[in-house]
A = this chain, B = another copy of it.
Amino acid sequence: MTMPKRDTYTPESLLAVAVEVFNERGYDGTSMEHLSRAAGISKSSIYHHVRGKEELLHRAVGRALEGLFGILDERGACEGRAVRRLEYVTRRTTEVLMDELPYVTLLLRVRGNTSTERWAMERRREFDQRVSALLKDAVAEGDLRADVEARLATRLLFGMINSLVEWYRPDGRASADAQQVVDAVVRLAFDGLRA
């Protein structure tokens, strides 16, 4: 096997560039010309690394979904009272969203025009339902208010968390910044704005 020493693109490193551009211009608003300019290689060279535009999208949303579903398998999401598990998932979802920001951003914006997008939307709905069940359990155990429907509350909770992709930008090496955001999300979600 040959191993080129000059720095070169892998499907993964190319994906990182592409996802940045997708998020800036929108997937449909991004041409292969845009991608090639951002990557610093020619349009045709991109096809050496990936099958095409849609494969880049598929890899990106796949990575985001992997991160999100991974949370549900962690110990904190499976053990203890439902309200503690929900708080854990809330915290971890926020963390994963910030860790994998560009990929999750892209996932949250797919509109369903291609089969890849429809697949992503379906898997996302699946994740939502898993968390909705968790919230419903916490209400049943008496730890969460019962005067707001579980499905509705889940949607508003995720609405708050997911909105991070609209404004959060990683702050250099300081993860103190990130932890502050996570705390704010958990506090506001569970205890509200009121003093």
Tell me the A residues contacting B by CB distance below 8 Å: 24-26, 28-29, 111-113, 135, 142-149, 152-153, 155-164, 166-167, 180-181, 184-185, 187-195
Asked if A194 and B145 sit within 8 Å, CB to CB, the answer is yes
The contact of A144 among B144, B184, B194, by CB within 8 Å, is B194
Q: Would you mind naming 28 contact pairs between A and B with Cβ atoms under 8 Å apart?
A: A24-B111, A24-B112, A29-B111, A29-B113, A135-B193, A143-B194, A144-B193, A144-B194, A145-B187, A145-B194, A147-B187, A148-B184, A148-B187, A148-B188, A152-B184, A153-B188, A156-B163, A156-B184, A157-B193, A159-B159, A159-B161, A159-B162, A160-B163, A163-B163, A189-B192, A191-B191, A191-B192, A192-B192
Supposing A26-B26, A148-B187, A163-B163 touch, asked if A195 and B155 sit within 8 A by C-beta, the answer is no
Q: How far is the CA of A158 from the CA of B111 in the complex (A)?
A: 21
Residues from chain B with a CB closer than 8 A to the CB of A24 are: 111-112
Asked if B188 and A191 sit within 8 Å, CB to CB, the answer is no
* A156, A164, A190, most chain B CB atoms within 10 A: A156
Residues from chain B with a CB closer than 8 A to the CB of A147 are: 187
Shortest CB distance A57–B (Å)? 13
* A111, A190, A191, most chain B CB atoms within 10 A: A111
Residues from chain B with a CB closer than 8 A to the CB of A142 are: 195
* A144, A181, A185, A194, most chain B CB atoms within 10 A: A194
Residues from chain B with a CB closer than 8 A to the CB of A25 are: 111, 113
Closest partner residue, chain B, to A87 (CB atom): B193
Q: How far is the CA of A149 from the CA of B180 in the complex (A)?
A: 9
* A28, A145, A191, A193, most chain B CB atoms within 10 A: A193
Q: How far is the CA of A146 from the CA of B195 in the complex (A)?
A: 7
Asked if A156 and B146 sit within 8 Å, CB to CB, the answer is no
Q: How far is the CA of A145 from the CA of B135 in the complex (A)?
A: 25
